Amino acid sequence: MSIIVNHVTYRYNAGTAMENTALNDVNIKINDSEFIGLIGHTGSGKSTLVQHLNGLIKPTEGGIYVDGADIWDEGYDLKKLRGEVGLVFQYPEHQLFETDVFTDVCFGPKNLGLSEKEIQLRAYEALKMVGIEDDYFYQSPFDLSGGQKRRVAIAGVLAMKPKVLVLDEPTAGLDPKGRDELLDKLSSIRKETGCTIVLVSHSMEDVANYADRIVVMDKGSVVYDDTPRNVFKHYKELKEMGLGVPQITETMYALKDAGFNVSTDIITIEDAVKEILGC
């Protein structure tokens, strides 16, 4: 499933004294099976943009095209689209509400009108996909750890079998171990299912380690759209936007400034080890 964001502008409270332009002439193409990192400081337009991808927000100007079709054309099936483009909001565990984990994950596929057997099969597969053991299936979701709740909430979206999974700050509030486990699971899910993942994050390490491509937003516009290595070459510009680069990249710049003959074109610890040992 390809998604094209074509010259999209969005204004909150358009036509009023409170009008605010959240997106300004944004152009992005999301291809099948990509893992995209979407970064930008608070207020850059990231969350507004991802809510356009499954029709939760309608552009003020421009269009959203899914597999070549304008999703705002009359008669377009937005309900079907929202099943295919799954959006996981920040702190999705706040949306858990059923008496047990399994019933909560069944909620989404049940609304698709599937048979009870198919609903339960999807819920089971989704929970196993995110690493929730059978012993937790019939516990209250509110008795789980923060990381487990987060994974159950994501399983609820995965049970819809989306072709595109959009996650808005999925690691917010998790400890480093929980963050790494969740991102590893998402990477595995992408490999197993072939679904596209759009990861909204403030963590430069996360997008450097997992994304194939990074889209950087600033003041409602796309500033960079490239591979992680090429995006993080813009060290000074990212700093000026209130962003940064991975800590290991910062370290390589510090070594360079100290007189060591090392490349600053490094974004992972593995690459840094090779570079330093090769000097």
- The single-letter DSSP state of residue 222 is E
Per-residue pLDDT of 42-97, as tens digits, reads: 899 999 999 999 999 999 999 999 999 999 999 999 999 999 999 998 887 888 88
Q: 279 pLDDT band (50/70/90 cuts)?
A: low
Non-local (6+) Cβ contacts of 230 within 8 A are: 224
Return the pLDDT at 177.
87
Mean pLDDT throughout 210-230? 96
Per-residue pLDDT of 169-185, as tens digits, reads: 888 888 888 888 889 99
What is the C-alpha separation between 268 and 248, in angstroms, rounded? 6
Burial readout 203-226 (b: 16 or more C-beta within 10 A, e: otherwise)? bbbbbbbbbebbbbbbebbbbbbe
Q: Given a cut of 80, is residue 198 above it in pLDDT?
A: yes
Say what the pTM is.
0.91
Is the Cβ–Cβ distance between 183 and 206 less than 8 Å? yes
Is the Cβ–Cβ distance between 159 and 109 less than 8 Å? yes
Mean pLDDT throughout 139-157? 91
